[in-house]
Amino acid sequence: MEQGSGMIGEAARLWAIRAHDASFADWDGLTAWLESDPRHLTAYEAALENDSWAAQLFAAHPPVAASTAPAHSPLRGRWFAAGGAMAAALVAVVGSTVLLRDAPVREVATARGEHRTVDLADGSRVMLNGDTRVSFDPDAPRQVTLAQGEALFDVKHDAKEPFVVVADGTRLVDIGTVFNVVRSGGALDVAVAEGAVDYEAGKQRIRLNQGDALSRADRDAAPALRRASPEGIGSWQSGQLHYDDATLDQVARDLSRNTGRSIRVANGAARLRFTGTLVLRGPPREVLARAGPLLGVTFAEQGDSWTMTPANVRRR
């Protein structure tokens, strides 16, 4: 479902008002909305630059909160100071539209060590690993934004309306697919268990088929291709982590997401690499005790976090 320009403009105005309210905290939701469609950023910037609509709305629905603004403050300062009440007025004016929902997008997040499955209205499913955040429009579930973390997508294919995952400006377009995506800032990893995915970053297009995987270190880095076992993709759901020549930095991030404990790599462990399988069964202490000998490291507990150190490094 494609939003019309009028509806996008209304959503942008509501976001502009909410974002400049002193109590506003949904910055991740705003970011996800801006990233979900190139037209959203244009509309949002227009709402900030051309505030004549705010003056008209302010006159028609004068909020009580407006009296708290200094008499000499400019227009933008007046209506931003009255953010919460003005947002309510805008909802009343636009009537029965998408803005009647609490927010234009729905955000779902997990804590470290938590797994969660989201069933979308189109029949697709998104399985979230720990420390992960996604957002989507419930009325247009064929596009999901991955803000951070790891998610496995089991997509109901529709050739007329491809399913799209947006991650840091990159589009991952399904071709009848089960695929796993990890995002950490600008770093991205995609692995395809079934079907195919088109990786679209700017003018670059790469087709990933079953068993193909792609990694990039940051948004400006060239993507590196590799092969992956389809059976091992998304295996974190069943309590296993499979690796083929992975850095221990990657292993530490995965263990953090799945155990709920922050794990730091220190003293040269980041240079080590690992091929094999780690089992996530049991509490974090047991998981790390089993993993240490396989990885060639020791884990030292420091409060709620752990430090990973090469086993042959002497502690002072």
Nearest CA to 207 out of 160, 174, 229 is that of 174
Give, in order, the Cα–Cα distances in Å from 129 to each of 9, 126, 216. 34, 10, 20
Which tens digit of pLDDT belongs to each residue from 241-253? 998 888 898 899 9
- Higher pLDDT pick, 65 / 215: 215
**Cβ distance 192 to 183 under 8 Å?**
no
Residue whose pair of structure tokens reads 């980041």 in the numeric block: 270
d(CA 140, CA 221): 31
Q: Out of 1.10.260.40, 1.10.1040.10, 3.30.1330.60, 2.60.120.1440, select the CATH number for domain 106-230.
A: 2.60.120.1440
Tell me the domain boundaries of the chain. 5-100, 106-230, 239-310
Q: According to CATH, what is the number of the domain 239-310?
A: 3.55.50.30
Q: Is 187 exposed, middle or buried (0-12, 13-18, 19+ CB in 10 A)?
A: middle
In this prediction, residue 72 carries a pLDDT of 36
Name the token pair of 120. Answer: 């979308």
Which tens digit of pLDDT belongs to each residue from 122-176? 999 999 999 999 999 888 889 999 999 999 999 998 888 999 999 988 999 998 8
The strand pairing partners of 167, in sequence order, are 170
| Tally of CB atoms within 10 A around 203 | 5
In this prediction, residue 27 carries a pLDDT of 74
| CATH topology identical between 106-230 and 239-310 | no
Query: Could you tell me the strand order of the sheet in which 305-310 lies?
Result: 262-265, 305-310, 297-302
Share the mean pLDDT of the chain. 79
pTM of the model: 0.64
The helices-and-strands tally (H runs, E runs) of the chain is 8, 18
